Amino acid sequence: MNTTSRLKLRCFTLSLPFLVGALAQASPIVYTGVFTSGTLTRAGGFSGTAQGSNFSVSVYTAYPGFFPDFAEPGTYTLFDGGGTGGLPNDSGGGYFFLNGTRYACNSTIPIDFSDCGSGFDIRTTFTLPNYGANLPFQVVLTAPFSGDGGFGDAPPGGQDFYMTATGVGIATITLQRDGPTSYTVRSAVYQFVDVPEPATLTLAGLGLLAVVLLRRNARRA
């Protein structure tokens, strides 16, 4: 039995038409890259740092992940991640170098008063085997993942800037039984790895950062 189970995280992203309009008005400085190292952790909240050539992105949020049950046997796609803006004590930010200039920001607490924001989205496909009558209480699985993330800032009186990056790596997911034949996510660790060929850059991470620009625009309105 092959099943794909999708989880929609809290809405850190915005619709593409709305985003394009915001970016056109802001004319920000933009940087794109590829994650080559770093570790992200789901353990109740979501936190970690990932790096690439000339940039780094970090995030911390205590907002928990809400995951569906996974019944064995089956193949599933797990959606995980997190970003600043969901809770007052969220924090994050990053830096990148572009044309010899360093652009950086760190969010302030409470996050509602910060122009800096960051976040990650992670996608992992894994398979639960058929354990038969010997169903273990806890299962640790490893599987490849792909992810994107970024950060941005809209400093008052300054020029907006943001960066996005994509990457791949290995996820270590710990599942724990919550029913006779079903499991839920207890924790997960996502380790980015370098690859010989650069990953294809996408615009998927732009939505994580549009909220920063819109917050700035709303204050000036």
User: Tell me: the pLDDT tens digits for 136-157?
Assistant: 999 999 999 999 999 999 888 8
To the question of pTM greater than 0.75 for the whole model, the response is yes
Q: How confident is the model at residue 3 (pLDDT cuts 50, 70, 90)?
A: very low
CB within 8 Å of 131: residues ≥ 6 apart: 72
Sign of CA dihedral 193, 40, 94, 21: positive
Amino acid code (one letter) for 124 = T
- Mean predicted confidence (pLDDT) in 40-56: 96
Tracing tokens 């010997």 back to the chain, one arrives at 134
Banded pLDDT at 108 (limits 50, 70, 90)? confident
Look at residue 152 in the predicted model and tell me its pLDDT: 95
Tokens of 142: 């490893």
Could you identify the residue written with the tokens 């998927």? 204
Domain boundaries along the sequence of the chain: 16-25+38-220
pLDDT at 83: 93
What is the pLDDT of the chain when averaged over all its residues? 81
User: Rounded mean pLDDT of 6-28?
Assistant: 41
Instruction: Tokens for 140, please give them.
Output: 């640790």
Q: Degrees (nearest 5) of the Cα angle 47, 197, 46?
A: 5
